Amino acid sequence: MCDLDWLSAGGSCAGLVVVTSSLPDEGKSLTSLSLARTAAKMGIKVLLVDGDIRRSSIAKKLGLTSDKALIDVLAGTVSLQDAVITDPRSTLQVLPGRTVNLKELDLVSLANGAESLFANLRNHYDLIIVDSPPILPVADVQVLANAADLTVFCVRWDKTPRQTALTAIRMLQDIQATLAGVLLTRVDYSRHAGYGYQDAGYYYARYRSYYAD
């Protein structure tokens, strides 16, 4: 298994990281894009895959459109080279998604196609980041997390119920996904500072104006 030394050393190790959450609207897509852009700006060859084929959003966040997508590559109707687009703000390459009808999906075929695709991608990229569907509403994430070296789990601050997050984490554990950690997203720093936890968010809210002057 890849040890993902790219994060600190910028090495050539090929790694596959899946980013997911319990439910929609927890910030996983923006997190995926931010991680991928940051890595690309470090000089790492990165591919961001929009794996949320029921609710694709990465191309829209980039201000791009494409008539070729991940689902077409998996179906064998479009080549990977023809489907990949480039982020206008970095060297990041993106395999966009396209929202498809639930009846069009065959999870067995999806699993087989994804396994083959990811094996191929590891030969061409240092890092592959996959924006996955949320865990609880659909089963697709099980296919993606099983193929990944690491899974990043996003939890929306002050919104996601504790039991909901725990249920999703248990599901990841059940499929033996390697959990890199839990990322707190969409934090309201002003409200957070009022709770008096005095962690990094507390000091950011209190002193950011000092450093902005």
Provide φ and ψ at 130, rounded to 5°.
-115, 120
Inform me whether the pLDDT recorded for 207 exceeds 50. Answer: no
Beta bridge partners of 91: none
Tell me the per-residue pLDDT of 156-167, one tens digit each, with 9 for 90 and over: 988 899 999 999
Any idea which residue has 């997050």 for tokens?
Answer: 165
Q: What are the residues whose beta carbons fall under 8 Å from the beta carbon of 71, sequence distance 6 or more?
A: 53, 97, 98, 100, 104
Rounded CA-CA distance 32/34 in Å is: 6
Write the single-letter amino acid at 204: Y
Tens of pLDDT, residues 58-114? 998 999 888 899 988 988 899 999 999 999 999 999 999 987 765 555 655 666 788
State the first-to-last Cα distance of the chain, in angstroms, to the nearest integer.
Answer: 47
pTM (2 decimals)? Answer: 0.81
Task: Say how far apart CA 206 and CA 124 lie, in whole Å.
Answer: 44
How does pLDDT run across 105-144, given as a tens digit for each residue?
565 566 678 888 999 999 999 999 999 999 998 777 887 8
Express as a percent the part of the chain with pLDDT over 70.
Answer: 75
